Structures are given as C-alpha cells and as structure tokens.
Amino acid sequence: MIDLPIVKAHLRVDHDDDDALIQGYMDAALSAFETWTNRTLVDPSESLPDPVGNALLMSKAIKQGALLLVGTWYNSRESVVVGTITAELPMATNALWKPHRWVNL
C-alpha cells in the first residue's frame, strides 16, 4: 500500500541492502494500524467493500503514522538502550491514528 521507494526516501536510505527489512517493518506497521484501530485498510485505488463495516481507505495521516513507526523501528532496532539516560518519546503515530479507531459499543 505504501511503495518501498517512498519508505526508503523517508528513511534516507539510498541502498538496496535493507529492502527486505524495510518492507517487513512496513508490513508490520500497517498490521499494527489494523490491530490498534480494529480497522481493515483498503488501498485508495480500490473501492470500499459493501457493506463498508470497519473498512477504511488509506489516508495521508495513516500513511504518515506508518512512516514514523517504520522510522522508529529502523533507527532503534532494540527495545532497550543501555548506557544512556532513558526517556519515553512522544508517540506521534498515536496522534495520527487515534481518530480512526473503531470501537464496538
């Protein structure tokens, strides 16, 4: 849904050595979106299903959130950093994705 060259440009990667890794991160980021929001992403070039249900077209905010998440994973490949002062970074992805959450009442 998000082309690899766009992701690589976002990451400022100009080689092909990490293509499989980056694609894996992108797939995981879009899966994380679907899990966290309880939505099913649909490529903007396709039509929404009938009935729509929880399906959602990919938007700029969803795409940007995925790129931010991939950037975080690509630059910090471990869950713990040793030997530095630790701080939790604000999660911009949540701000971009939260409006799309689907809650069953």
pLDDT (tens place) for every residue of the chain, 105 residues total: 999 999 999 999 999 999 999 999 999 999 999 999 999 999 999 999 999 999 999 999 999 999 999 998 998 877 776 776 655 555 678 878 888 888 776
Q: How distant, in Å, are the alpha carbons of 31, 42, 55, 102, 103 from that of 52?
A: 19, 10, 6, 12, 15
Map out the domains of the chain with their CATH numbers: 4-77+87-100 (1.10.3230)
pTM of the model: 0.83
Give the pLDDT confidence score for residue 87 in this predicted structure. Answer: 56
Nearest to 53 by CA among 35, 39, 32: 39
Give the pLDDT confidence score for residue 76 in this predicted structure. Answer: 82
Give the pLDDT confidence score for residue 26 in this predicted structure. Answer: 97
